[in-house]
Amino acid sequence: MSALRVHNFSISLDGFGTGDGQAEGAPFGHAGERLHEWMFATRFWSDMAGGPAGSAGADHVYAAMHGPGIGAEIMGAGKFGPPGWQDDPDYKGAWGANPPFHSPVFVLTHRPRPSIEMEGGTTFHFLDTSPADALKTAREAAGGLDVRLGGGPSVIRDFLAQGLVDHMHVVQVPMLLGRGVRLWDGLEALEDRYTIEAVSTPSGVTHLTFTAR
Amino acid sequence: MSALRVHNFSISLDGFGTGDGQAEGAPFGHAGERLHEWMFATRFWSDMAGGPAGSAGADHVYAAMHGPGIGAEIMGAGKFGPPGWQDDPDYKGAWGANPPFHSPVFVLTHRPRPSIEMEGGTTFHFLDTSPADALKTAREAAGGLDVRLGGGPSVIRDFLAQGLVDHMHVVQVPMLLGRGVRLWDGLEALEDRYTIEAVSTPSGVTHLTFTAR
């Protein structure tokens, strides 16, 4: 059975996965890039984005789990683009002509549109459906591989609440955002369904892995 | 200058320091004892409470910082007793005749009462005043030693918001309480004022230390 996996999902100590005030050019709102600096310093990131070779240490080891075995991604409308992207019929996502997914990507939106084929193997599909139905569709497209759940926080929370997530990697960054969208709301006793491991690393972040029991 | 220190303050992954439904015999509400199991397994705890000798490992090392150098404690009304204790003129706290503080303890309450001298060096004093004034009073009583801020979460949050805390040790427990009293609300950019370290340990908890810059 293909698993549903979350990788490299970064939150503040106070649990925000996205800051306040998402906008064009500010996909994480007032959080800016700060939730992801740990990742920019890894070999995983430099291999993908170029620049000086990053560290191959613990943060890299966790980050590099993001790609292997994935055949499709599911994401929320808020990850695909800034508020209001649905009003632009030519909008093609926040990643340019060659997005880093290289697989079918299923965007959850109440205003679906025709699929968009991008360079590099990424095709965006738009679904107005339940988490369970979206997962079923993504699994069929993944050709036996796993499905990645890409966020944002409210989408991950919805899939967790419905018991659909098999594996989750959350990275807790030592900062307090104070406002934004929380990951953890309404998930009392989640630990009953997962084995949780915590590993802090020299960069200051703590990697939390949730493995379904 | 005597420092204001927080020690062994345990929260869930979703940031709750106290569960929902505090009551007589349930000081942490629906959280029960679960936020503190990591501590019950330490040598620090067994030395104080008896029972089989606990582990002298990492959790003990952090926990044992609780006592040394402390000359007074400040706590909120919700730590001193269950809701409504102010209506019982004979109430003397949740710890029996010999409380584990062995120092002056300043209880913040809007309904102060005369001081209560207990066995073992603990005296409870009751203050209806601001955090800064309570700290001034506790410092005078501490005789040059440090002051411990004992919680609960809303009291720690108030003192943090006013920039009064010099050192804080928070223990994050891998569980989700879903409801209760949050520690982190309203503390955006706290990291600007503290050096934060995270250390996860084999018991599964993560020790976060905040050292004022």
ipTM of the complex: 0.94
Q: In a mutagenesis test of the A interface, which of B169, B181, B187, B188 is the best target, namely the one with the most A β-carbons within 10 Å?
A: B188
Q: Do B191 and A175 touch (CB under 8 A)?
A: yes
Confidence of residue B122 (pLDDT cuts 50, 70, 90): very high
- In the predicted model, is pLDDT for residue B113 greater than 90? yes
Q: Work out the minimum CA distance from A119 to partner chain B, whole angstroms.
A: 39
Contacts of A172 in chain B (CB under 8 A): 198, 206
- In the predicted model, is pLDDT for residue A1 greater than 90? no
pTM: predicted TM-score of the whole model, two decimal places = 0.96
Q: What average pLDDT does this structure show over A75-88?
A: 96
Confidence of residue A208 (pLDDT cuts 50, 70, 90): very high
The CATH number of B4-86+97-212 is 3.40.430.10
A204 touching B (Cβ < 8 Å): yes
Q: Tell me which H or E stretch contains A210.
A: strand A206-212
B13 touching A (Cβ < 8 Å): yes
Q: Do A176 and B198 touch (CB under 8 A)?
A: no
Is residue A206 within 8 Å of A171, Cβ to Cβ? yes
Is residue B19 within 8 Å of B179, Cβ to Cβ? yes
Residues 142-201 on A with a CB inside 8 Å of B are 172, 174-179, 184-191, 196-200
Q: Do B199 and A200 touch (CB under 8 A)?
A: yes
Confidence of residue A10 (pLDDT cuts 50, 70, 90): very high
Residue A160: predicted pLDDT: 98
What percentage of chain B carries pLDDT values higher than 70? 100
Residue B208: predicted pLDDT: 98
Report chain A's terminal Cα–Cα distance, integer Å: 15
A45-71 confidence digits (pLDDT tens): 999 999 999 999 999 999 999 999 999
| Contacts of residue A118, Cβ cutoff 8 Å, sequence gap at least 6 | A92, A93, A97, A98, A99, A124
Contacts of B205 in chain A (CB under 8 A): 198
What percentage of chain B carries pLDDT values higher than 90? 100
The structure tokens listed for A89 are 């019929």
Q: In a mutagenesis test of the A interface, which of B13, B38, B169 is the best target, namely the one with the most A β-carbons within 10 Å?
A: B13
Nearest residue of B to residue A206, measured between CA atoms: B198
Is residue B67 within 8 Å of B5, Cβ to Cβ? no
Q: Do B200 and A200 touch (CB under 8 A)?
A: yes
Confidence of residue B56 (pLDDT cuts 50, 70, 90): very high
A158-185 confidence digits (pLDDT tens): 999 999 999 999 999 999 999 999 999 9
Give me chain A's average pLDDT, please: 97
Give me chain B's average pLDDT, please: 97
Residue A197: predicted pLDDT: 98
How is the beta sheet containing B146-149 ordered, strand by strand? Answer: B116-117, B123-127, B104-108, B70-76, B146-149, B4-12, B167-173, B206-212, B194-200
The structure tokens listed for A189 are 């006793």
Q: What average pLDDT does this structure show over B44-66?
A: 96
- In the predicted model, is pLDDT for residue B1 greater than 90? no
DSSP codes, chain B: -PPEEEEEEEEETT-EEE-S--BTTBTTGGGTTGGGHHHHTBHHHHHHH-SS--B-SHHHHHHGGGSTTEEEEEEEHHHHSSTTGGG-TT---TT-SS-TT-SEEEEE-SS----EE-GGG-EEEEE-S-HHHHHHHHHHHTTTSEEEE---HHHHHHHHHTT--SEEEEEEES----SSEES-TT-TTGGGTEEEEEEE-TTS-EEEEEEE-
The CATH number of A4-16+29-86+98-212 is 3.40.430.10
Q: What average pLDDT does this structure show over A24-48?
A: 96
